[in-house]
Structure 1
Amino acid sequence: MNVLFLSKEYPPETGWGGIGTYVYNIAHALSERGHTIHIVSLAYNSYPTHKEQRVGKGSIHIHRIRPIRFPTPILNHFFFRSLEIIKFNITIILKIKKLLNSEKFDIIEAPEWRSEAFLLSFIKPKGVPLVIKCHSPSVLLNEVYKNAPTLDSRFVDWIERTTIRNANLVISPSKNLADIVSEKMGIKINDIDIIPNPLDTEFFSPIPISYKEKNELKVLFVGRLDRLKGAHIFVEAIPIISKEMPDTSFILIGRDTNTGPNNSSMRTYLENLIPNNIKERVSFFGNVERDILIDYYRGSDVCVVPSFYENFPNTVLEAMSCGKAVVASNTGGIPEVIEDAISGLLVKTGDAKDLAEKVIMLLKKRDMRENIGINARKRIESLYSKASVSKNVEEVYAEICRLKAKK
């Protein structure tokens, strides 16, 4: 198959979050199975480029584009995000038109969030199915963040809803998100295929590392320093954990955001929450490269994911695949991945005390955390490996192509 992915996010240049990670993983998985993959993504700090790489039996072509620019000063004031979407959509349409001069695509896939395929959903190339992969629609995120609705946000919601309704196939990584999309977007739950996100289990593997100091315990948080990710809940739990386990170190990896009080730096806010007597045991890092991140996972004893909502968090998959005990909020799609007390521990969302108690229990009980880590690794290998998920995606793609050809 010749598959085209549309995604602003794609590492390393624009590997900002979960969408970019998903596209990277599924693109590589499908290429390894012999498919040709094209990715149209944002050129953030560079001029438009085209890069080709061989991966397995197939190939990946990365096309970086810059959004078309035209002055809209008055509209920008009321519809900033909507106009960003439209401008990028116009650029995508122009790029696809050029690609179609030399390529025949079998499938086009794009995320629902910020809808890179909005305009394309009205003028799809003849015979090419459009697949929309759900991550977290803006209407859901605005509810979680408790953002007041605006003209701009309502228009973005309409764009995303329209794109989903115009798609030939909708895929969700979790049952929880599928239910939300069905309710918010007005489509039947039976019209949504549930396929989890894939993970490179060979890369994220539980190989012990040599630099771990004897008797030192480490608790790891990976994610944006953001209220949605619950970074402040983890930091509030640190003094409780440290009181019981004083030799424990705490590591936070992820970029800063302006979700602190009055839109201030979240990192600064978190640093000020930490008591002076334990500040030296808490380390903050920004985004780190994938090759470095793996060492942090392997060097940790417990990983925490105290998010207020997650549809299907890569952090949970990555930590579990590295054989680590994960303590995560009982929210969104997380309970579909973690079997409580078997392959991880679930805690009350937003409850720093509950988080601290579960982490302390794992730090004190080495056998328990190691058994949970072993079960976690087995679960990820059996359900979420690149090989198994990409085979499922391949079958769904083939079926939608067959149905499209009949019409």
Structure 2
Amino acid sequence: MKKTTTGKAFQSDSVINICIVTPHYPTRHLVNSGIANHFYELANGLSQLGHQVHVLFVTDKNLTEDDILVEVSENQKVKIYLHPISIKLPNWIETGFKGRWAQILILKKLGTILHTKKVLSQLVKKHNIDVIETTSYDFLCLAYLFKRNRPLIVTRVSTTLKQINRDHYEFVSRAIKIASALEGLMIRLSDRLTTHTLAHRDEVCNDFKINQDRFKIIPHGIQLPEKITFEKSYQPLKKINVLYVGRFEYRKGIDVLLEAIPLVLEKMNKIYFTLVGQDKDYNYQQNFQNKWGKKFNDCVNFIGTVNSENLHHMYQECDLFVAASRYESFGLIYVEAMSYGKPVIGCKTGGIPEVIEEKVTGLLAQPGDSKDLAEKILKLAGDADLRHQMGQQGRLRVERLFSREQMAKQTIKNYSVILP
């Protein structure tokens, strides 16, 4: 039987009851997650416009109210309601499939989408939800999509598992292939699709044979830091601080950056690199140190994960930002760095060129090319005037295109078009 959706007509000043469904939401245990940060910014932006927001998110922690990041500001008109859920497989499954991680992964994902359907059904009924905003990643709303008389579902498509498994990962996984098929089904069945760049839209449409007209382009947005300090172009620096923020993994190009660092330091010894993010089992750090010994210990600092306050300080104190991702559907880290008035270096891949305006707000290297990346770092490190100009232009670009308020307004406009 064909599913149906329910909705109501909205005026521009109507209050909309929105439920955000996400596999990740920022907590004190989770900092560097693009999906988590996106929905945090969206929830707060929608709330500041006066709309009612509920956030249903998955966590493996036993959270208290103090663990979940909640923003309260003068602009906050209504409260954001947070609904954490956790999924644990029965012991007999854990025991019966011991050592078969692929089967356990798929079973946990299926259990999560079924539990999400149950909890979401209760929230929709209790709070009279008008629209559901979610992500294709982890396809949490897949089971709920088949429910009759439900609210409309808007799905934001980030980097898909199909892209990861095909082009941008070190290994091929059967479990990821299965999950990718489920994600594709989620994308095809969703009532409305959004994404953040034209390049990513085109790739997704080609992968899943979807008409481009189904997508609305709404870039990510962030809360702009209010107090920032631009580098003075006429003042030479005793040292240059280069910052990286992101997971230590193949797709993020951390291996390329670690190959480029010695090339940079051999030519300019006043550069210091600060590397922020989770390095599982410290593999990348240990490989770097095993290869180079103590030669670069004073110039390369592996920080690990940090809280929001420390990350704010690091963005403020760096002189330029670099991340050599092999693929990003958008690249929120570049927007964050630009919001602090910092010049940025990324790669010519995915949606990154739509975020970084080349030679205006930053430089673009060839993906996977450590020599080209090193040249870009040296160019910015050696030119204070260029860093100053790009930093100023980057901040203006974020204010114009990538603010939290702009993202929230475009999202509401998108709802007003699709809600009957």
Describe the SS at the equivalent of 1:201: coil
Q: 2:37, 2:71 → 1: CA distance?
A: 17
Mean Cα displacement is larger for which, 333-342 or 179-188?
Answer: 179-188
Q: 2:135, 2:194 → 1: CA distance?
A: 10
List aligned pairs for 1:5-404, cutoff 5 A.
5-12=20-27, 13-46=29-62, 56-67=76-87, 69-70=89-90, 71-72=92-93, 77=100, 78-123=102-147, 126-143=149-166, 144-150=168-174, 152-202=175-225, 206-207=228-229, 215-257=238-280, 265-274=283-292, 276-402=294-420
Mean Cα displacement is larger for which, 265-274 or 24-33?
Answer: 265-274
Q: 2:248, 2:40 → 1: CA distance?
A: 23
Describe the SS at the equivalent of 1:61: strand
Aligned to 1:405: none
Decide whether the 8 Å contact of 2:242 with 2:272 is kept in 1. Answer: yes
Q: 2:265, 2:228 → 1: CA distance?
A: 26
Q: Give the drift of 1:288.
A: 1.0
Q: Give the drift of 1:16.
A: 4.9
User: Aligned in 2, Cα 1:272/1:387: closer, same or farther, shift over 3 Å?
Assistant: same
Describe the SS at the equivalent of 1:72: helix
Describe the SS at the equivalent of 2:266: helix
Q: Deviations over 1:24-46 (max 9, x none)?
A: 01111111111111111123220
Q: 2:55, 2:189 → 1: CA distance?
A: 21
User: Aligned in 2, Cα 1:274/1:228: closer, same or farther, shift over 3 Å?
Assistant: farther
The code of the aligned residue for 1:196 comes to P
Q: 2:32, 2:19 → 1: CA distance?
A: 20
Decide whether the 8 Å contact of 2:331 with 2:355 is kept in 1. Answer: no
Q: 1:381, 1:297 → 2: CA distance?
A: 17
Decide whether the 8 Å contact of 1:66 with 1:91 is kept in 2. Answer: no
Q: 1:15, 1:372 → 2: CA distance?
A: 27
Q: 2:360, 2:185 → 1: CA distance?
A: 41
Give the structure-1-normalised TM-score.
0.90
Q: Deviations over 1:176-210 (max 9, x none)?
A: 1111211122211111111101111135x53369x
Q: Give the drift of 1:231.
A: 1.2
Q: 1:273, 1:392 → 2: CA distance?
A: 49
The code of the aligned residue for 2:374 comes to A
Q: Deviations over 1:199-222 (max 9, x none)?
A: 11135x53369xxx9612111111
Mean Cα displacement is larger for which, 221-230 or 265-274?
Answer: 265-274
Decide whether the 8 Å contact of 2:170 with 2:250 is kept in 1. Answer: no
Decide whether the 8 Å contact of 1:234 with 1:352 is kept in 2. Answer: yes
Identity %: 26
C-alpha RMSD over aligned residues = 2.3
Q: 2:292, 2:78 → 1: CA distance?
A: 49
Q: 1:187, 1:87 → 2: CA distance?
A: 28
Q: Please tell me whether residue 2 in structure 1 is matched to residue 17 in structure 2.
A: yes
Q: 1:369, 1:45 → 2: CA distance?
A: 42
Unpaired segments ≥5 residues, structure 1: 259-263, 403-407
Decide whether the 8 Å contact of 1:48 with 1:66 is kept in 2. Answer: no
Mean Cα displacement is larger for which, 48-57 or 160-169?
Answer: 48-57
Q: 2:36, 2:344 → 1: CA distance?
A: 23
Decide whether the 8 Å contact of 2:44 with 2:80 is kept in 1. Answer: yes
Q: 1:306, 1:324 → 2: CA distance?
A: 16
Mean Cα displacement is larger for which, 53-62 or 333-342?
Answer: 53-62
User: Aligned in 2, Cα 1:194/1:304: closer, same or farther, shift over 3 Å?
Assistant: same
Decide whether the 8 Å contact of 1:7 with 1:40 is kept in 2. Answer: yes
Describe the SS at the equivalent of 1:58: coil
Unpaired segments ≥5 residues, structure 2: 1-15
Q: 1:359, 1:173 → 2: CA distance?
A: 27
Q: Give the drift of 1:146.
A: 4.6
Q: 1:238, 1:351 → 2: CA distance?
A: 12
